[in-house]
Amino acid sequence: MTPETETLTASQSPKSNLPDELQLPWRHLQEVSTRLRQVIRGKDDVIEAVLIALLAEGSVLLEDVPGVGKTTLAKSVSRLIDLEYQRIQCTPDLLPADILGGPIYLQSKGEFEFRPGPVFCNLLVADEVNRASPRTQSALLEAMAESQVTIDGDRYDLKHPFMVIATQNPAGFEGTFPLPESQLDRFLFRLSMDYPDTDSEIDLLLEQSEAEPVEGLQPVMQAEELTHLQTWVRQIQTDRKVAAYVVALATATRQDSRLRVGCSPRGSKMLMRASQARAVLMGRDFVLPDDVQQLATAVLAHRVSTRHGTATSNESRQIVASIVDQVPVPV
């Protein structure tokens, strides 16, 4: 995604051709977007991507240096949409049970009782996820892919809606474990917050000198409204030519000589779902090729592997971006 993608601001009159029953939830979502931009300055493209992930029932991996607002963004989303929010600080000694929960023996009853862990919420923030051990990282796989967890052979459904926003330090930072390809594939987007521009950072210093703006945020949207929009996303009309465009992009990653592993069919499915979600965010009941083109790099870049296997996320992103530029866009 690029900053040039279409955005909706408070100064514009929101318009939508969605069904009447979705008009109010959609307007509330636009209000969420507007207020997020007042807290997270100069990151409209990242805010848009997080809202698309919410609508698409996907998870987001935010990769960047500490202190650029990754956790603030997640906390702001949970406050504005009235979601139950839990945060775990990942460390090398964190265990799977610290995330999932487990049975606790109650001496008074003489039996074990299941105590749910932080994953039983609407929005889970896994801070510095690549500092946790691979075993602990894998505890999130089932939750992100199927919105459920299995503990001691028993299956437990998670709350709905459910989303994981994981943050990680760039590769090479001390005490980090690289995320395996199978786990990266569970994230809808892999994004970078990056440093704010000069004007945005000045505004941040002046406006947040006395208090953190996130503390004053009040819900403007209910979780049920978000669920209603999520259900509609799956029903958005998609022309066969648009679906063929998604497949053409995925196929191009599999055939590119610079890549050892291309995008899987799961990546194609996620790109389609994200495009449907973007259409709803923009107030449309149909998908445009532009939706696919704008999201392709953010959805596919972390699902490919380069030939030499040591490429940074930026290099993978550049390769996929060049592929997107080369594949013809349907009319």
Q: Which domain holds residue 253?
A: 236-331
**Encoded amino acid at 131, one letter:** R
173 and 268 share a domain? no
pLDDT bucket at 64, cuts 50 / 70 / 90: confident
- Asked if residue 76 lies in contact with residue 114, where contact means CB atoms within 8 angstroms, the answer is no
**How remote is the C-alpha of 248 from its chain's centroid?**
24
Residue 1 lies in a domain: no
Residue 123 lies in a domain: yes
326 and 225 share a domain? no
**Which pTM does this prediction carry?**
0.88
231 and 254 share a domain? no
Rounded to whole angstroms, how far apart are CA atoms 134 and 67?
Answer: 25
pLDDT bucket at 319, cuts 50 / 70 / 90: very high
218 and 303 share a domain? no
Is the pLDDT at 212 greater than 50, yes or no?
Answer: yes
What the block records as the tokens of 299 is 């959805």
Is the pLDDT at 104 greater than 50, yes or no?
Answer: yes
3-state secondary structure at position 102 = strand
89 and 209 share a domain? yes
Stated as kind and residue range, the H or E segment containing 123 is strand 123-127
Sign of CA dihedral 125, 230, 299, 184: positive
* Alpha-carbon distances, residue 291 vs 52, 282, 284 (angstroms): 11, 10, 11
Could you say which of 189, 217, 235 is where a domain stops?
235
178 and 304 share a domain? no
Q: Among the listed ranges 43-52, 187-196, 226-235, which one has the minimum average pLDDT value?
A: 187-196
273-308 pLDDT per residue, tens: 999 999 999 999 999 999 999 999 999 999 998 887
159 and 196 share a domain? yes
**Which pLDDT belongs to residue 105?**
83
Is the pLDDT at 7 greater than 60, yes or no?
Answer: no
Give the residue, 148 or 212, on which the prediction is more confident.
148
* Token pair 């945060």: residue: 87
* Token pair 């029953």: residue: 21
141 and 221 share a domain? yes
pLDDT bucket at 209, cuts 50 / 70 / 90: low
Number of domains in the chain: 2
pLDDT bucket at 310, cuts 50 / 70 / 90: low
Residue 286 lies in a domain: yes
Residue 10 lies in a domain: no
